[in-house]
Amino acid sequence: MKWRVSLKESDAAAVSALVEKTGFFSAQELRVAAELVEETLLHGNASGYEFVLADDPDRPGELLGYTCFGPIPATKSSFDLYWIAVSPSEQGKGIGTKLIQKTERMAKEMKATFMFVDTSGREQYTPTRAFYERMGYHVEARISDFYAPGDDKVVYGKRL
Amino acid sequence: MKWRVSLKESDAAAVSALVEKTGFFSAQELRVAAELVEETLLHGNASGYEFVLADDPDRPGELLGYTCFGPIPATKSSFDLYWIAVSPSEQGKGIGTKLIQKTERMAKEMKATFMFVDTSGREQYTPTRAFYERMGYHVEARISDFYAPGDDKVVYGKRL
């Protein structure tokens, strides 16, 4: 596994392809994921987004997983894990755990004291929520019908 | 009072001046408020931000109040009230109420079913929270120490 924290031009397409492969995100969300990469390629750290990326050693230009995170504007030292995705073929091999650990370490170096991550309360996200709980995250809030009727937002948080 | 929902070039500076006058926001937040105006002037509705503005009839180019709101990405029909500000000299005259009413009406025309607004749990924001409660908003979530140690985030919501 090759890990990187700086972006290269091909990452907008690679992130979009990875996020699509997971089957968890809409077309609109794929665009957002790619836009955050493009914005950071353009504006660097000033964009407010940081990345941890796992390159696919067998397929140059493809990613096995990534996170996108950064300081939450108007907070003192709270960070948000905006995106985490692991290629379906690689799930269950510990890549998600390593991504979270590297992400939290980088955030702590940036003086983060709290990491938040939003997810859905839907059945489909039970493994996602179980993953965050294994990583030491706790439910900080639950907002009924936030994403859509019957689709709650669950906010997880972890003190770093 | 003159109400507008389309932006003009002078609004980035006018919004920044208004938001500063309230004394509730940091320099970083002033920049964000102005950036949302600039982005919407550049990209129009595609930016995802809508505005309601109250012009000062006595001072051309100045604002007595405004809201900035829009659909929350990845939700079906939830909207966020990103900003609401009323000039200190005009507070208590019903401008905030009219801003909220006009904002909710516009959001409903855009098929919104839920309006959310984040605020702080700090003492300074007691009048703000009382205002949202009078407008029919309920606490949907409270996240301890979100903004800073001792500074909770309180999420209000209202079904439209």
Nearest chain A residue to B30, by CA: A74
Q: What pLDDT is stored for residue B82 in this prediction?
A: 97
Segment (H or E) for B65: strand B63-71
* ipTM for the assembly: 0.85
Q: What pLDDT is stored for residue B33 in this prediction?
A: 95
Q: Does the beta-carbon distance from A148 to B76 stay under 8 Å?
A: yes
* Token pair for B12: 């980035």
**pLDDT tens readout for residues B5-58:** 999 999 999 999 999 999 988 888 899 999 999 999 999 988 899 999 999 999
A contacts of B80 (beta carbons < 8 Å): none
Rounded Cα gap, residues A96 and A86, in angstroms: 6
Is there a contact between B81 and B117 (Cβ–Cβ < 8 Å)? yes
**pLDDT tens readout for residues A85-119:** 999 999 889 999 999 999 999 999 999 999 999 99
pLDDT over 70, % of chain B: 100
Rounded Cα gap, residues B115 and B123, in angstroms: 24
Rounded Cα gap, residues B2 and B60, in angstroms: 11
Q: Is the pTM of the predicted complex or chain greater than 0.80?
A: yes
Q: Which of A100, A144, A90 is nearest to A122 (CA)?
A: A144
Q: Does the beta-carbon distance from A146 to B26 stay under 8 Å?
A: no
Residue partners of B114: CB distance under 8 A and separation at least 6: A145, A146, B77, B78, B79, B157, B158, B159, B160
**pLDDT tens readout for residues B65-88:** 999 999 998 899 999 999 999 999
B1: pLDDT strictly greater than 80 = no
Rounded Cα gap, residues A124 and B25, in angstroms: 39
Q: Where are the beta strands (DSSP E) in chain A?
A: 2-4, 50-55, 63-71, 78-86, 114-120, 138-148, 151-159
Instruction: Specify the amino acid at residue B27.
Output: A
Mutate to test the interface with A, among B32, B80, B117, B145 (most CBs of A within 10 A): B145
CB atoms within 10 A of CB A109: 8
